[in-house]
């Protein structure tokens, strides 16, 4: 998937948007010639825009024979809507991730009898540790990759953005506890020794703050 912002911006071009809407409405993949005729564009122009939509991750292509028998020729290149989901949120929000954590915790609690909040916190920690596998080893970069907008200040890392902002406002203790476990799992997963996550609510910031031991107080230290 291309940059989600770039993918959405690609649809600002009128002909490209018409082609995307056309392909999205189809029940089967469509050829370049069929698309060009449907929106009254030259074949080469339609092909350019269709391929740009593929490049952006909005469409995918398949190869199929439209006719059978000897001499049928090569399979045709056909276009269909991508199965990828594109979301753009400014500031960065991760509500779908929170919904999965909360739903999974509830389902597990119903089957095991374990308190849902304990399951939620455990799963959030495990997920944070899992995210660390694809995260940079730099604490600031790892936190930034999840949308926390970290900023180094006075020996601590402040998180300027909460990915679960509206949920945290409505269910502060539940969501902030989940967030703390998520960040703790991420820090442990990247082996960020000397860094500790704690709850420190403040206006216009995430409720979690990351403290650094004196030996790692420089913002250039990655672990």
CB under 8 A, 24+ apart: contacts of 84-88: 84/1, 84/57, 84/58, 86/1, 86/4, 86/7, 86/8, 86/57, 86/58, 87/4, 88/4, 88/5, 88/8
Choose the weakest-confidence range: 128-137, 164-173, 208-217: 208-217
> Which residue shows structure tokens 């400014």?
90
Q: 129, 186 in Cβ contact below 8 A? A: yes
Q: Note the pLDDT tens digit of each residue in 68-109.
A: 555 556 788 999 999 988 888 888 999 999 999 999 999 999
Q: Give the confidence band of 218 by pLDDT, cuts at 50, 70, 90.
A: very low
Which secondary structure element, helix H or strand E, spans residue 208, and what is its range?
strand 208-212
**Strand ranges for 55-187 from DSSP E:** 59-64, 76-81, 150-153, 156-159
Whether the per-residue pLDDT at 219 is higher than 60: the answer is no
Domains belonging to the chain, first-starting first, are: 4-81 (1.10.10.10), 95-216 (3.30.1380)
The vertex-139 CA angle with 136 and 172, nearest 5°, equals 115
Both tokens assigned to 21: 């809407």
Q: Note the pLDDT tens digit of each residue in 44-54.
A: 999 999 999 99
> What pLDDT sits at residue 68?
58
Q: Which of 132, 125, 159 has its CA nearest to residue 144? A: 159
> What pLDDT sits at residue 220?
38
Q: Note the pLDDT tens digit of each residue in 130-166.
A: 999 998 889 999 999 999 999 998 889 999 999 999 9
Choose the weakest-confidence range: 38-47, 66-75, 109-118: 66-75
Q: Which of 32, 26, 29, 55 has its CA nearest to residue 45? A: 32
Q: Note the pLDDT tens digit of each residue in 54-66.
A: 999 999 999 987 6
For the chain, give the mean pLDDT: 89
């Amino acid at each position: 998937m291309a940059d989600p912002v770039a993918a959405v911006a690609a649809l600002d071009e009128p002909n490209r948007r018409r082609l995307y809407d056309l392909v999205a409405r189809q029940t089967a993949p469509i050829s370049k010639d069929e698309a060009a005729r449907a929106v009254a564009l030259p074949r080469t122009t339609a092909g350019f825009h269709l391929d740009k939509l593929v490049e952006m991750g909005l469409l995918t292509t398949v190869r199929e024979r439209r006719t059978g028998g000897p001499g049928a020729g090569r399979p045709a290149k056909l276009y269909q809507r991508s199965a990828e989901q594109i979301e753009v949120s400014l500031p960065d929000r991760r509500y779908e991730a929170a919904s999965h954590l909360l739903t999974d915790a509830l389902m597990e609690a119903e089957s095991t009898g374990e308190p849902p909040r304990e399951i939620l916190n455990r799963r959030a920690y495990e997920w944070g540790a899992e995210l660390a596998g694809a995260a940079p080893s730099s604490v600031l970069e790892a936190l930034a990759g999840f949308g926390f907008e970290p900023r180094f200040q006075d020996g601590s890392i402040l998180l300027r953005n909460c990915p679960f902002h509206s949920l945290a406002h409505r269910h502060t203790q539940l969501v902030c506890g989940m967030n703390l476990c998520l960040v703790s799992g991420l820090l442990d997963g990247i082996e960020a020794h000397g860094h500790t996550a704690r709850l420190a609510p403040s206006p216009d910031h995430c409720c979690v703050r990351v403290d650094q031991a004196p030996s790692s107080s420089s913002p250039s230290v990655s672990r």
